[in-house]
Structures are given as structure tokens and as C-alpha cells.
Amino acid sequence: MNDEFYMDLALRAAWRYQALTLPNPAVGCVLLDRGGRVLGIGAHKKAGFLHAEANAVFAALCDLDVNFAQDFACEYAREFGVKFQNLEALKSALLQPSFAYDFILNRHGGLLRGACAYVTLEPCAHRGKTPSCAELLAQLGLSRVVIGARDTNAQAAGGAEILRRGSIEIKFDVCHAAAEELAEPFYLARESGFCFIKINATLNGAAHGRIGSEKQRVFVHELRSVCDYVGVGGQTVRADRPTLDVRAAKFDEISALVGSVDKPLLDTRVAKLGEIGTLTNSTDKLINTSCTAPRNLKLRAPDVWIRSRRALSDFDASIPLFGVAGRKVEVSRSLPADAKITMIEAGASSFDEFAQFASHALIFYSAQMRNAGNFRANAALRPLFISRAGDPHLEANEFYGWFKILK
């Protein structure tokens, strides 16, 4: 196995959360021990929560030291009033970042000394909503960090220098082109704006009617929640009468696996992560607490851009998208000037109409054939990432791909 192999693992981990991390970049990280054994794979999943490096470190420490996982679960429960269904839930949860970073630094026990990290983007140097990942890796005593792309964002750049001061060997530009492609949506969103087209289709290209599972619908609603605008054609608005909100968004790793509760409702008996990875109390019963999303997870339905020659007043005001509270609806032929992150939900024949505004396409496929109207477009695409079976966002008979639109 070489550096490119492990960097590819990190890249694939990051692509699974592409766009969901905005306004942050999608980043992946793989940790190896001194003998080359994979200790942990992590990705940044949502802005305001653990970065990729910390997620990989946390997963590795949970596997290396059962007491680390047990003690973290207990202290996290006391601090925030939560439950974790099992060890995998703990490792995949969206955790409060400052608490998790501090716990890692106080309790790592030197278990990662001499390890090697593969990171798709230079570890951040700044302290914002989360602590510096470069400082975290330096304090853990890693011996080597392999980086895919340099961070050109002035606010976060400088991580490599922190690592060098910690006597860590640095290697840049492994799978550099692929790492740059992964980071491109982030840089576009910060500059001219990131716009992508989303399509649902069957294997034979049918794009009419409801296609895709409830899990896919949840994924799409979560993507909407990070967008400034959702774009749609005027004909689609009139025919489908959509809502285009985020009501199905769950962010399962937080609202289903981690429950935030009022302190008095938490079982105050000593809790620990049992050998099978279930949070238990002294009577070996699962602690029952009601699950709600934490206070810092505020989902907002995006504004809507309707591409049409008609005026706003020509649309039926009873169409549900017009009734979403706090929403702005713009009807025009061009992308709104203030749009920084836009997902265009294209119909069977509107891809070409919207392609002039978009740099990327996200295509969902359902493993079925349907005798219905097929998707029609004249476009050249370059594949960037194709999901595999078992992707957490979809059912087993579904997959999706990110593509670059070539112009």
C-alpha cells in the first residue's frame, strides 16, 4: 500500500459529505499506526461540528481503548444529557466540538504517538467554532502527516507550519488533483458561488414520478438545508406544486443517535458503555431519554429561485412553496445575484436549461427500470465520485454520483 492508496480512502470518506459541510470544505482523514494498520477513518460532516482529523482520532481512540469510549459516554451524558445507542453510534455522532477536543487531549494516553495521518486538505490552523486540527495532531505526537491539497483560505491556512514546529514530517500534494476537485465547491461558494444540479433517475433514465427511497429524500432535504437557494423551473412549479422545504431533514447522526434532553430527565445512575457498546445503567437497561436535535442545529428552508419568463404574480399563490415562513421567492431568467450555494432540482428535460449556471451535477440512481419519460439532455460530464453499496445516505439498491459539468 502506498500514500496514494490511503489518500484515496480519505477522499472517498470526504465525498460522502460533499456539500453537506458547506460553508466548510468537505475533508477526509485516515490514521495509520506505525506498522501501517488503519486505526480510524473520519470525515467532516457538518459545519460547527468535529473536523475530519478529530473524527478519525476519536474513532481510533474508541477502538484502541474501551475505557476511553466508556468514560467519554459517561461524561458527555452528564454534561449534555444524551444517550448513544451503541459504540458505532458514539463514533459516528455529531459531537460538541470543544468538549470532544478537550477530552481527546486529556485522555489520549499517547496511543497515537508515532502515527501517520492522511488528510485531503491541510489541517486548519485557526480556532473558530472548533479548535485547530493542526494543534490537535501536533499534541497527539504524530510522526507524519500526508496532505492532499494546501489550504489557500487565509483564515484557516498555516496548519503545516504548526505541524513542522511539532517535529512532524510533512508531505504535500499526494493525489493533489483529486484533492483540489474535492475542495472546489467550498472555494466556489466563498467566491463566485457554488451551483449544482440535482437529478433523480432510474437505471434506464426514467425521471418522471417519485423515484428514490425515504432515505434519499432525507439526504436531499439535508442538502437543501445548507443552500441559500433551491432552483426550479416554472413549469415544474405549476405541474408538481412542490414545497421545497427541509421537513424531512434529520441529520440522523445527531437527532436519532444522540438525544438532547433536559437534565432532570436524565437517569442519574452511573452509566457506562457496556461491552456490546450499548449505553447502560446499573440495571443493564438502556437509558430512555427523548431525542431532539441540539440547540445549535437550526435548519432553515432555502429561498427559491424560479426560472421563468413569467412574473411572480402569474403563479398560483396556494402552491405550497409560497407558504413557507420567512422564505424569499425570486422569479427571473438568471441566478439571483446573492446566491452563494444553490441546488437546482432539475426535471426530465430542464438540465440543459440550467447547466449554464451550474458547475457540478449530483445524480441519484435507483436500481430499477421504469417505463416512463426519460431524462433528456445534451451535456458532457466527468465523474468525480460514485457511491458504493452501504452508503449511509441511501438504501442498498440506490447510489449517487458527483460529476463535473464540462463546458
If one counts the domains in the chain, the total is: 2
Is 286 part of any domain? no
Q: How far apart are the first and last CA of the chain?
A: 36
Q: How far apart are CA 63 and CA 60, in angstroms?
A: 5
In DSSP notation, 208-221 reads SS--S-HHHHHHHH
Dihedral angle computed from the Cα positions of residues 344, 188, 391 and 375, in that order, rounded to the nearest 10 degrees: 30
Dihedral angle computed from the Cα positions of residues 312, 313, 314 and 318, in that order, rounded to the nearest 10 degrees: 90
| pLDDT score recorded for residue 93 | 87
Cell (9 digits) for 105? 487531549
Is 383 part of any domain? yes
Tell me the pLDDT of the chain averaged across its residues: 86
Last residue of a domain, one of 172, 189, 206: 189
Task: Provide the CATH number for the domain around residue 135.
Answer: 3.40.140.10
Task: Render pLDDT for 310-350 as a digit per residue (tens, 0 to 9).
Answer: 999 999 999 999 999 999 999 999 999 999 999 999 887 88
Task: Render pLDDT for 195-243 as a digit per residue (tens, 0 to 9).
Answer: 999 999 888 888 777 788 899 999 999 999 999 999 999 999 999 999 9
Last residue of a domain, one of 140, 165, 189: 189
Q: How far apart are CA 351 and CA 376, in angstroms?
A: 8
Is 271 part of any domain? no
**Which residues are CB-neighbours of 55 under 8 A, at least 6 positions away?**
29, 40, 42, 43, 44, 45
Domain ranges, residue 169:
3-189
**pTM for this structure?**
0.87
Indicate whether 180 and 321 sit together in one domain. Answer: no
Last residue of a domain, one of 137, 161, 189: 189
Indicate whether 101 and 68 sit together in one domain. Answer: yes
Indicate whether 156 and 21 sit together in one domain. Answer: yes
Q: How far apart are CA 93 and CA 80, in angstroms?
A: 14
Provide, rounded to the nearest whole percent, the portion of the chain with pLDDT above 90.
Answer: 65
pLDDT greater than 60 at residue 377:
yes
Indicate whether 185 and 210 sit together in one domain. Answer: no
Q: How far apart are CA 360 and CA 383, in angstroms?
A: 10
Indicate whether 383 and 322 sit together in one domain. Answer: yes
| pLDDT score recorded for residue 369 | 85
pLDDT greater than 60 at residue 272:
no
Task: Render pLDDT for 97-141 as a digit per residue (tens, 0 to 9).
Answer: 889 999 999 999 999 999 999 999 999 987 776 778 999 999 999
Is 400 part of any domain? yes
Is 268 part of any domain? no
Indicate whether 185 and 200 sit together in one domain. Answer: no
